[in-house]
Structure 1
Amino acid sequence: MGLHGIAGAVCRALTAKKDGPSLYDVCDGVLLGYRGGNAHLGQFYRTALGNPALRPLLRRTGLPALKDADRLARLRAALISARDETTPDWAAVGAPIAELMDDIDVRHPQPPPATAPVRAPAMAEIDQTIRTTAAHLLRSFATNGFIPTYAAFNLLGDADMRGRELLMALTGLNARAYKNSTLLFSLARIFIARSPARALINPPWRGIAEPMWEPVQIRHRSAYYDAFFTEALLSFAETGLASVDEAAAAQRAISDMVAFCLRTSAEEVPSHDGSIVKVITALAPGPHPRFSRFFAQIRQNLGFGIYVPDCDTTACAFSAATQAGSDDPILDQPLLDFYRGYQVRSGANEPVVTVPLNDHVDYDGGVVTWIDNLNGDRPYGNDLDPTLNLDILEVTFRNLKRWKVIETPQRLETVHRIIAFQMNLVESGAFRNPRSHIYYLPELYSAYFGRCYAAFVALPLAAQRIIDPGNVFALIRSRVLGYVTGELITHEMNAFDAALALMALAHLNADAATFTPALHCIVHSIGEGGRNGPYNAYEWNKMKTPTRILVGGPEVTSAFVLMALTLARRRMASSE
């Protein structure tokens, strides 16, 4: 949105005709200046929703439904219960808000069809883009001492979060602060969706992955991101395009990031067999996340102070370190033994998924996201994401011999059950549905399946047959390629969409002729990032609760473009 559009949206929000009580009419009397009760609820309200930036934009947005005095009273009574009760009935607290959420008009992007470009960019343009994106990553590392990623709040919320899902979250999340923030963000989005400020908070965009609005990005460092930056720089080194100085700089960055993943971000947790295992947390203790003092305080005020390890960060960190040739003893741990304790078995431990936002998916065989720390904290409850399970398979294939997977029946069974989970997901077509994915998008699932598939086909044929006797990987490959070639690349894309499409196509050995739309988009989008880098920041992953929190950044886009182009370049060279 340009300056003219921003000014227009602000003007309309400030001068809108008010029709019913506003968010502040509902909440100020309940959540400002009270004593006793839960202090965090009021603190969150003042910090996130009642702040001087947002209040003027929403103060004239009224809700006609709340002109009903009884309905307004029930809503205020629910907020008072959340404020004053030690253990509120969260289903009852959320009920009046859930009723108001179901007619919010928030939808997933539906890009229009695009005209296919006539020819692919020249190899010289591809090589120059590889050099440009790699230089961006190396320059960022040299400037910051790490490669940053950013988080941004989208207050309009996620299209999949309706009243039913709100109640799932309120009853399934564990941390009181996280319940508070989910409750109030959900209430706020009801008003935002009806406000002229909506155009300012959530402007339209091109493609599927959402761009991130620069003024509200929170810079930080995480082992999860370092793992993928490591893979990107490894792919650059393999091209032969790096100068001597660039190759040395890339190796220094890779060594630092692997150490950050395996040492700085490692913590011990209890396994289900009573042993202690080292896993990787996505947010290491301070000062390692590198938040500014300002955002560190806001994070604390918003109730995000406790963070626990997760299965995805652990898998991706182990994978990146393995690819980088690390011999750290932590890699000798057979993660499958640990993951088995977090694997869902229908009718047995299925309630481990306490926040089942994608409950149309058959969870059997899948591994959940969050890992209990030594204190037993589980602030986010638990959920199950399909893409995470691809990462578990990928790291397993890279460590098949080290972990003696084929030789250990229990480990092999764990792998077979994850593969069966993926087969059910793909056969049903659910992988194409954004609602199936907790932290990612279908296009990213496709790229990550390609990454997993490449690790699988690199195994000896005998091992492939033992791991996949039913030829499931061939079935999933066919369905994912159908989605990418039939839907994703035939519609308008942004650079991040195109990078993910290209990663999937190259990893899955698609005909090089199918690369053209994605290559064209990537090469012709370069420069869009202005002073921040070659490309804009786009949504890489997200949190659906407490609101839609996007994670990405200009460096992230450069990393995915770099990986996609190096893969495509190799495939194009081999097909000549």
Structure 2
Amino acid sequence: MGFHTIAGAAFRALTARKDGPSLYDVCDPVLLKYRGGDPHLGKFYRTALGNPALRPLLRRTGLPELRDEKRLGTLQEALIRARDDDEPDWAAVGAPIAELMADIGVHHPAPQKRAAAGRAADGSEIDRVIRRCGAHLLGSFAKNGFIPTYAAFNLIGDPDMGGREMLTALTGLNSRGYKNSTLLFSLARIFIAHSPARALINPPWTGIAEPMWQPMQIRHRSAYYDAFFTEALLSYVESGLASADEAAASRRAISEMVDFCLKTSAEEVSSHDGSTVRVITALAPLPHPRFSRFFAQIKQDLGFGIYVPDCDTTACSFSAATQAGSTDPILDQPLLDFYRGYQVREGANEPRVTVPLNDNIDYEGGVVTWIDNLAGDRPYGNDLDPTLNLDILEVSFRNLTRWKILETPSRLETVHRIIGFQRRLVESGAFRNPRSHIYYLPELYSAYFGRCHAAFMALPDAARKAIDPDGTFAFIRGKVLAYVEGELTAREMNPFDAALALMALAHLGADVSSFAAALNCITAHLGEGGRHGPYKAYEWNKMKTPTRILVGGPEVTSAFVLMGLTLARGVMMRGNA
């Protein structure tokens, strides 16, 4: 987005003809100053929506519908109820906002068909990019003492979050702070969607994964990210392209990140059978997340203060530690016994999914996301993401012998039911639909299925037959390859999309000729990150509630590019052997 485009959009927002009450006409009388009631709602409004940066951009955007004084009064009365009631009726509170969201007009990207790929990048180009990305990760670790990831708000919100989904979130989230933020962000989305400022907040981009160009990016550290960076550095060492010093630095970083996952981020929780289990929290207590002091306070003011363990961070941390050769006793815990208590059984514990934003899919057999801590907190309610369930399968395959999965009927049944959940998802075609995914996008599901498939194929033949007697992995492989080859790489990509495509193609045994488009995209965009790294920051994962919160970073892109290229390089070298 060029300077003239940015300046033009800002000028139009600042000088727009006001055509009805603005966000601030609605909220200032109710939320700017008050006594009693819930103090967080007002603090959130002043911090997130009424701040000096956003207010000038939206103050001249009005909604004609709210010139109807009765409708305006109903909306303000709903905000008063959210502010003052001890136990608000959140469905009633959200109803007038849901009505206004009908024409918000936010859509998923639809990349154009691309031209023929042409000659694929050669080995020397691939090696150069791998070395650049490996050096970027190691340099970042040396500079920061960890490899950072960033979060950013896109206030236009998620395309899958309409009025119905907003009400689902309001009634399914457990934390009042998250309900408050979902309510107010949803209201702000309506005004942003009708404002010239929309072009600043949500400009178009190439490919599927969204670039993180928002100016307010929150740096932080999590075990989930450290597990991922551990896998990336392992792949760098295994590629043989790291120098002796880089290989040694990689091993030191891997050791420190595994410790961060298994020790610093571990906490004890109750299992469904009354025992206790050590799992991995989404965000370790301060100071370990490494927020700046400014953002740590902002996070508290916005009400994002409680974090609990989750099934995905636990699975990925255990997997990365296993790959790194850790012997920590925490890995001896058979996680499938614990996950079984969070697995959806039709008619038995379906209420576990309290925030069913992706209710277009069949949850039976899937494991939900969030784990209750010892205090019983679960601020997000609970949801169910397909990619998370691939990670559970992957870590189970890596620990098949250690956890005695084939010898333990209940554990094998848990695996079979997750595989059944994945088969129904893919049979329906829903895996290609962004709506089906809570935290990820279809191209990342495809890459992570490739990762899971590789762990499955590394098992002995007899084990594979016991785990998958119906050939589900072969069936899903065919469908995912058809999506990656026929849709993802057939259209315009950005480097992040291309890295994910390579991971899927290489892991799933696609023909080397199918690598060309992704390889060319990655090599052509080298250097786009400027002083921040070889590549820009793109959307790795997201939260749909309370608004579209993106997570990624330049280091994340480097890590995915590194892994995608090393996998493709390995396949290409074996083909030339």
Q: Tell me what 2:218 maps to.
A: 218
Where in structure 2 are the equivalents of 1:177-576 lying within 5 Å? 177-576=177-576
Q: Tell me what 2:5 maps to.
A: 5
2: CA distance, partners of 1:425 / 1:154: 28
2: CA distance, partners of 1:161 / 1:124: 45
Task: Please give the per-residue CA displacement for 1:85-138, whole angstroms capped at 9, x wherever unaligned.
Answer: 000000000000000112111000000000122111110000000000000000
Are the aligned partners of 2:316 and 2:391 in contact in 1 as well (CA < 8 Å)? Answer: yes
Q: Which amino acid aligns with 2:31?
A: L
Q: Which amino acid aligns with 1:460?
A: P
Q: Tell me what 2:137 maps to.
A: 137
Q: Which amino acid aligns with 1:446?
A: S
Q: Which amino acid aligns with 1:426?
A: V
1: CA distance, partners of 2:554 / 2:233: 15
Deviation at 1:209, TM superposition (A): 0.1
Task: Please give the per-residue CA displacement for 1:432-474, whole angstroms capped at 9, x wherever unaligned.
Answer: 0000000000000000000000000000000000000000000
Deviation at 1:214, TM superposition (A): 4.8
Q: Which amino acid aligns with 2:76?
A: R
Q: Which amino acid aligns with 1:177?
A: G
2: CA distance, partners of 1:254 / 1:138: 10
Q: Tell me what 1:97 maps to.
A: 97
Deviation at 1:235, TM superposition (A): 0.3
Where in structure 2 are the equivalents of 1:67-216 lying within 5 Å? 67-216=67-216
1: CA distance, partners of 2:214 / 2:62: 28
SS state at 1:215 partner: coil
Deviation at 1:142, TM superposition (A): 0.2
2: CA distance, partners of 1:102 / 1:324: 49
2: CA distance, partners of 1:398 / 1:117: 36
1: CA distance, partners of 2:480 / 2:309: 30
Deviation at 1:5, TM superposition (A): 1.3
Deviation at 1:323, TM superposition (A): 0.2
**TM-score using structure 2 length:** 1.00
**TM-score using structure 1 length:** 1.00
Deviation at 1:575, TM superposition (A): 1.4
Task: Please give the per-residue CA displacement for 1:216-255, whole angstroms capped at 9, x wherever unaligned.
Answer: 1100000000001000000010111111100000000000
Where in structure 2 are the equivalents of 1:30-49 lying within 5 Å? 30-49=30-49
1: CA distance, partners of 2:560 / 2:11: 38
Are the aligned partners of 2:154 and 2:214 in contact in 1 as well (CA < 8 Å)? Answer: no
SS state at 1:153 partner: strand
SS state at 2:278 partner: strand
**Gapped runs of 5+ residues in structure 1?**
none
2: CA distance, partners of 1:63 / 1:364: 42
Q: Tell me what 2:65 maps to.
A: 65
Task: Please give the per-residue CA displacement for 1:325-345, whole angstroms capped at 9, x wherever unaligned.
Answer: 000000000000000000000
Q: Which amino acid aligns with 2:133?
A: T
Q: Which amino acid aligns with 1:336?
A: L
Q: Which amino acid aligns with 1:160?
A: D
Q: Which amino acid aligns with 2:110?
A: Q
2: CA distance, partners of 1:183 / 1:242: 49
Alpha-carbon RMSD = 0.5
Give every structure 1 segment of 4 or more consecutive aligned residues whose post-TM-superposition deviation is greater than 4 Å.
none
Q: Tell me what 1:28 maps to.
A: 28
Q: Which amino acid aligns with 1:330?
A: I
Q: Which amino acid aligns with 1:368?
A: V
SS state at 1:102 partner: helix
1: CA distance, partners of 2:13 / 2:259: 49
1: CA distance, partners of 2:121 / 2:83: 59
2: CA distance, partners of 1:193 / 1:116: 36
2: CA distance, partners of 1:565 / 1:356: 36
2: CA distance, partners of 1:562 / 1:4: 35
2: CA distance, partners of 1:116 / 1:569: 21
1: CA distance, partners of 2:425 / 2:575: 32
Q: Which amino acid aligns with 1:93?
A: V
2: CA distance, partners of 1:394 / 1:503: 15
Task: Please give the per-residue CA displacement for 1:192-224, whole angstroms capped at 9, x wherever unaligned.
Answer: 001000000111111000000152110000000
Deviation at 1:571, TM superposition (A): 0.4
SS state at 2:215 partner: helix
Task: Please give the per-residue CA displacement for 1:156-205, whole angstroms capped at 9, x wherever unaligned.
Answer: 00000000000000000000000000000000000000100000011111
Are the aligned partners of 2:503 and 2:567 in contact in 1 as well (CA < 8 Å)? Answer: yes
2: CA distance, partners of 1:338 / 1:186: 35
Q: Which amino acid aligns with 2:195?
A: S
Task: Please give the per-residue CA displacement for 1:340-392, whole angstroms capped at 9, x wherever unaligned.
Answer: 00000001100110000000100000000000000000100000000000000
Task: Please give the per-residue CA displacement for 1:479-529, whole angstroms capped at 9, x wherever unaligned.
Answer: 000000000000000000000000000000100110000000001110000
Q: Which amino acid aligns with 1:159?
A: P
